[in-house]
Copies of this chain bind each other. A is one copy, B any other.
Amino acid sequence: MRRDVFQAIADPTRREILHMVCDKPLNVNAVAGHFDVSRTAVYKHIKILAECGLLEVKQKGRERFCEAKPEKLNEVSKWVDQYKRFWEQKLDALEAYLQLIQEPSNNK
């Protein structure tokens, strides 16, 4: 059972769950109510998100509240940043080129 952050955020439903609980913790039923799949299906997604640390489930009476732990996304952020310089330097080159061909001195 591979369980890493990259695999967890690959599913659009899981990304939406994360978005739902990021400003206020919600109990399992509240989360499940926003989707048209079964509660069990949503519960499984919550479990996967919890297993890889993207959210924390806290019991309160008979309810369990899902609290987002977005700091785990730092792993993804750092991975993407590795490549950022590649596309940013390409954009810089494009910008420089556009500036060059508009340079008035070229019309001399």
| Cα(A10)–Cα(B9), bound, Å | 8
Residues of B within 8 A of A22 (CB): 83, 86
Which among B12, B18, B76, B91 is the interface contact of A76 at CB below 8 angstroms? B76
Contacting pair A10 B15 (CB below 8 A)? no
- Interface size bucket, A side? 20 to 34
Q: How many copies does the complex hold?
A: 2
Interchain residue pairs with CB less than 8 A apart (22): A6-B9, A6-B10, A6-B12, A6-B15, A7-B10, A9-B10, A10-B10, A15-B79, A18-B83, A22-B83, A22-B86, A70-B83, A71-B90, A73-B80, A73-B83, A73-B84, A73-B87, A76-B76, A76-B80, A77-B80, A77-B81, A80-B80
| Cα(A11)–Cα(B104), bound, Å | 49
- A15, A77, A80, A82, most chain B CB atoms within 10 A: A80
Residues of B within 8 A of A18 (CB): 83
A-B residue pairs, 9 tightest by C-beta: A71-B87, A10-B10, A70-B83, A70-B86, A7-B10, A77-B80, A6-B10, A73-B80, A70-B87
